């Protein structure tokens, strides 16, 4: 695993706050020379045999972004006073990509889905100030892709020129943490593939490398699973609100070409009421009321975890669903198991009694089965923290444990030697603070009030209070969007630019870079909007054009 200590973030403190790289590179030196792209600017490769088509596509996208972003510098005159300097600046004619390694060239798509410990994302980007060719070197095409993303953030627009005032650049970059994700819930409300693709694009622009897809839940089952098509036929909101195997294949390929692995989740044994629509025999307490006694959200319903037929059904379902995805990982969920649901289910009580076990005992057996089934097809399990902390399930040490209830729970997971992904509700939940969504709740707040600002997540230290050995178990983290009060209408605005803050925390490492964060994040918002993603304004434009002027004590 790569070093997690930020190496040269302090360098950024001394440079122009309009400097727009996000996440901040881990080693960077810049100058103060103007440089523009020549009209015939090209991105080429050298020494790469059989250039993968997804790398060629990424080059094309990078050129298109540079041509179309048309983002003026975020200063009061939007760069106008630099017109003379830009006019006489030297021109950069080319950026040349090369691989340091000499082995077989893999595609970005192949490298994006490698196991986390095998993923190589580092790169070295050199942009000389004298107009001589810029170079981008990496040990992987995935690294080249990350470097292209950085290159695309260097340029502002003025009078038809793409320019920077900060040449030369020397950047040696690689992520502090291998897992940098974003989670979307497509079960509370449905999101068309086009919305997810736009989100994947945006994720790639800030080097997020994992899409954690909470694809189904108790409210709806939009995933069409081969051999289990009745689940979506009866459990989706409607026939149009589904993800077919072809949709998934297309989405997984789209993500991988952008350096993103898709980890799907079928939450078990809770959050499965939708399965009752087609398989009532597998669900305890379906639609039981009052729902609040049987589930954290309506409708109630959990898999009959002590029923061998249900365990078998679940294993087969997960294996079939997992076959739709290329990732090495698959999430089996495991959060918010409601004890009362099983207490109220005569069948489950009879089965527990016959087996002489408890719910936790049965859950352990259930987990061994489904995780074993996934392991047999090459998939490592991902779970929510309760599986370990609340139910003491005997998990394989390869399991990725997502800590969501509180960041305070991280210590207990690493103390047991398990890998952690930071997904804490007190830091990374994008839905908090919008008020209660259950009906007849006139003055209700959201359960995880207040709103989680970008500042809260940006200030988060993923390694706080951990020993060096424990720190090695921190795999990364992510923002999450649960969609009780969200849909396509507010996807962009509730996610961006906030989700970029965790992207920097887990790429650039803890410690952050407070003085330049807000100006650079403004740049992200403005650039995202230029690219068609509706990131919100974090401040009045007056503030965005005057870095620091709206600070509390300015």
In the chain the first and final C-alpha atoms are separated, in Å, by 41
Cα–Cα distance for residue pair 450/521, rounded to 1 Å: 21
CA distances 8 to 22, 28, 141, 147, 512, Å, are 15, 7, 24, 17, 11
CA distances 87 to 32, 37, 165, 167, Å, are 15, 11, 12, 15
* Closest approach of its own copies to the CB of residue 319, in Å: 27
Q: Is residue 484 at the binding interface for its own copies, with CB under 8 A as the rule?
A: yes
* Closest approach of its own copies to the CB of residue 455, in Å: 4
For its own copies, which is the closer residue by CB, 245 or 436? Answer: 436
Nearest residue to 74 (alpha-carbon basis) of 550, 443, 532: 550
Find all residues with CB under 8 Å of 337, minimum gap 6, and list them: 269, 270, 302, 359, 363, 386, 390, 391
For its own copies, which is the closer residue by CB, 74 or 262? Answer: 74
> Which of the ranges 2-10, 34-42, 168-176, 213-221 carries the binding residues for its own copies, by CB under 8 A?
213-221
Cα–Cα distance for residue pair 311/268, rounded to 1 Å: 10
Query: Are 266 and 250 in contact, with CB atoms under 8 Å apart?
Result: no
* Closest approach of its own copies to the CB of residue 39, in Å: 25
Q: Rounded to 5 degrees, what angle do the CA atoms 159, 34, 497 make?
A: 70
Binding its own copies (rule: CB under 8 A), the pick from 44, 67, 309, 542 is: 542
DSSP E strand boundaries for 87-155: 90-99, 123-127, 134-138
For its own copies, which is the closer residue by CB, 54 or 504? Answer: 504
Binding its own copies (rule: CB under 8 A), the pick from 91, 229, 320, 534 is: 534
For its own copies, which is the closer residue by CB, 33 or 537? Answer: 537
Number of residues that bind its own copies (CB under 8 A): 73
Cα–Cα distance for residue pair 21/30, rounded to 1 Å: 12
> Which of the ranges 53-61, 293-301, 341-349, 392-400 carries the binding residues for its own copies, by CB under 8 A?
293-301
For its own copies, which is the closer residue by CB, 368 or 537? Answer: 537
Query: Are 475 and 398 in contact, with CB atoms under 8 Å apart?
Result: no
Signed CA dihedral, 513, 518, 522, 528: sign only: positive
Binding its own copies (rule: CB under 8 A), the pick from 126, 459, 471, 530 is: 459
User: Helix H segments across 472-511?
Assistant: 491-495, 498-508
For its own copies, which is the closer residue by CB, 281 or 541? Answer: 541
For its own copies, which is the closer residue by CB, 280 or 540? Answer: 540
Element housing 185 (H / E): strand 179-185
Over the window 220 to 239, marking each residue x when it contacts its own copies by CB under 8 A and - when it does not, the resulting string is x----------------xx-
For the segment 60-99, give every residue that binds its own copies (CB under 8 A).
78
For the segment 177-196, give every residue that binds its own copies (CB under 8 A).
187-190
| 111 is a catalytic site residue | no
Over the window 145 to 184, marking each residue x when it contacts its own copies by CB under 8 A and - when it does not, the resulting string is ----------------------------------------
Q: Rounded to 5 degrees, what angle do the CA atoms 405, 410, 416 make?
A: 125
Q: Is residue 14 at the binding interface for its own copies, with CB under 8 A as the rule?
A: no
CA 463 to chain CA centroid, nearest Å: 19
Binding its own copies (rule: CB under 8 A), the pick from 14, 102, 194, 440 is: 440
Find all residues with CB under 8 Å of 17, minimum gap 6, and list them: 515, 516, 519, 520, 547, 548
Binding its own copies (rule: CB under 8 A), the pick from 42, 372, 450, 467 is: 450
* Closest approach of its own copies to the CB of residue 18, in Å: 15
Q: Is residue 438 at the binding interface for its own copies, with CB under 8 A as the rule?
A: yes
* Closest approach of its own copies to the CB of residue 335, in Å: 17
For the segment 250-289, give every residue that binds its own copies (CB under 8 A).
289
* Closest approach of its own copies to the CB of residue 446, in Å: 8
Tokens 């002027």 -> residue = 549
Nearest residue to 299 (alpha-carbon basis) of 321, 316, 277: 277
> How many CB atoms neighbour CB 113 within 10 A?
23
Binding its own copies (rule: CB under 8 A), the pick from 492, 501, 502, 520 is: 492
Over the window 494 to 533, marking each residue x when it contacts its own copies by CB under 8 A and - when it does not, the resulting string is x-------------------x---x----------x----
Interstrand relation of 210-214 and 179-185 (parallel, antiparallel or unpaired): parallel
For its own copies, which is the closer residue by CB, 391 or 546? Answer: 546
Structure token digits, residue 396: 């394989």
Cα–Cα distance for residue pair 322/328, rounded to 1 Å: 9
* Closest approach of its own copies to the CB of residue 79, in Å: 12
Query: Are 111 and 142 in contact, with CB atoms under 8 Å apart?
Result: yes
Q: Which of 157, 336, 351, 484 is catalytic?
A: 336
For its own copies, which is the closer residue by CB, 206 or 475? Answer: 206
Over the window 295 to 324, marking each residue x when it contacts its own copies by CB under 8 A and - when it does not, the resulting string is --xxx-------------------------
> Which of the ranges 6-14, 53-61, 304-312, 492-500 carries the binding residues for its own copies, by CB under 8 A?
492-500
For its own copies, which is the closer residue by CB, 96 or 446? Answer: 446
Structure token digits, residue 527: 């650039």
Binding its own copies (rule: CB under 8 A), the pick from 1, 5, 10, 489 is: 489
* Closest approach of its own copies to the CB of residue 404, in Å: 19
65-93 CB burial, b ≥16 within 10 A, e <16: bbeebebbbbbeeebeebeeebeebbebe
Phi, psi of 381 (to 5 degrees): -80, 145
* Closest approach of its own copies to the CB of residue 256, in Å: 28
Residues with catalytic function: 336
């Amino acid at each position: 695993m790569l070093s997690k200590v930020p190496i040269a973030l302090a360098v950024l403190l001394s440079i122009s706050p309009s400097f727009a790289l996000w996440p901040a590179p881990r080693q960077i030196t810049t100058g103060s020379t103007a440089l523009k792209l020549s009209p015939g600017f090209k991105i080429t490769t050298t020494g790469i045999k059989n250039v993968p088509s997804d790398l060629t596509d990424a080059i094309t996208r990078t050129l298109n972004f540079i041509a179309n972003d048309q983002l003026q510098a975020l200063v009061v005159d939007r760069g106008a006073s630099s017109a003379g300097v830009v006019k006489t600046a030297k021109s950069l004619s080319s950026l040349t990509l090369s691989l340091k390694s000499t082995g077989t060239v893999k595609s970005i798509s192949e490298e994006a889905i490698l196991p986390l410990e095998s993923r190589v994302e580092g790169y070295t980007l050199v942009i000389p100030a004298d107009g001589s060719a810029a170079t981008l070197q990496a040990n992987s095409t995935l690294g080249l892709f990350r470097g292209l993303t950085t290159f695309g953030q260097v340029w502002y627009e003025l009078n038809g020129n793409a320019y920077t005032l900060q040449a030369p650049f020397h950047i040696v970059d690689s992520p502090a943490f291998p897992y940098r994700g974003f989670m979307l819930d497509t079960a509370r409300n449905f999101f068309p593939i086009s919305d997810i693709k736009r989100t994947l694009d945006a994720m790639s622009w800030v080097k997020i490398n994992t899409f954690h897809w909470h694809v189904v839940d108790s409210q709806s089952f939009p995933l069409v699973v081969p051999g289990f098509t009745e689940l979506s036929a009866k459990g989706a909101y409607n026939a149009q609100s589904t993800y077919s195997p072809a949709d998934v294949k297309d989405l997984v390929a789209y993500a991988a070409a952008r350096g993103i692995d898709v980890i799907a989740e079928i939450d078990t044994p809770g959050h499965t009421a939708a399965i009752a629509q087609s398989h009532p025999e597998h669900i305890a307490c379906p639609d039981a009321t009052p729902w609040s006694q049987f589930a954290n959200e309506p409708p109630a319903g959990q898999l009959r975890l002590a029923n061998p037929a249900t365990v078998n059904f679940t294993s087969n379902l997960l294996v079939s669903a997992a076959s739709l995805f290329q990732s090495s990982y698959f999430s089996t969920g495991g959060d918010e198991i409601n004890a009362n649901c099983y207490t109220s289910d005569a069948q489950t009580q009879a089965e527990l009694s016959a087996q002489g076990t408890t719910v936790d005992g049965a859950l352990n057996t259930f987990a061994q089965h489904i995780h074993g089934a996934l392991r047999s097809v090459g998939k490592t399990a991902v779970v929510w923290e309760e599986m370990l902390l609340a139910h003491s399930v005997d998990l394989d040490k390869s399991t990725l444990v997502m800590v969501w209830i509180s960041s305070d729970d991280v210590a207990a997971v690493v103390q047991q030697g398990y890998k952690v992904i930071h997904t804490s509700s007190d830091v990374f939940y994008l839905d908090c603070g919008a008020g209660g969504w259950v009906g007849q709740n006139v003055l209700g707040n959201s359960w995880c009030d207040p709103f989680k600002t970008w500042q809260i997540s940006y200030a988060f230290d993923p390694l706080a209070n951990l020993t060096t050995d424990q720190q090695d178990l921190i795999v990364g983290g992510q923002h999450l969007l649960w969609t009780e009060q969200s849909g396509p209408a507010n996807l962009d605005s509730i996610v961006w630019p906030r989700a970029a803050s965790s992207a920097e925390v887990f790429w650039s490492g803890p410690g952050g870079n407070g003085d330049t964060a807000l100006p650079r994040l403004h740049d992200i918002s403005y650039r995202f909007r230029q690219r068609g993603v509706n990131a919100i304004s974090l401040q009045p434009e007056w503030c965005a054009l005057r870095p620091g002027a709206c600070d509390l004590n300015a």
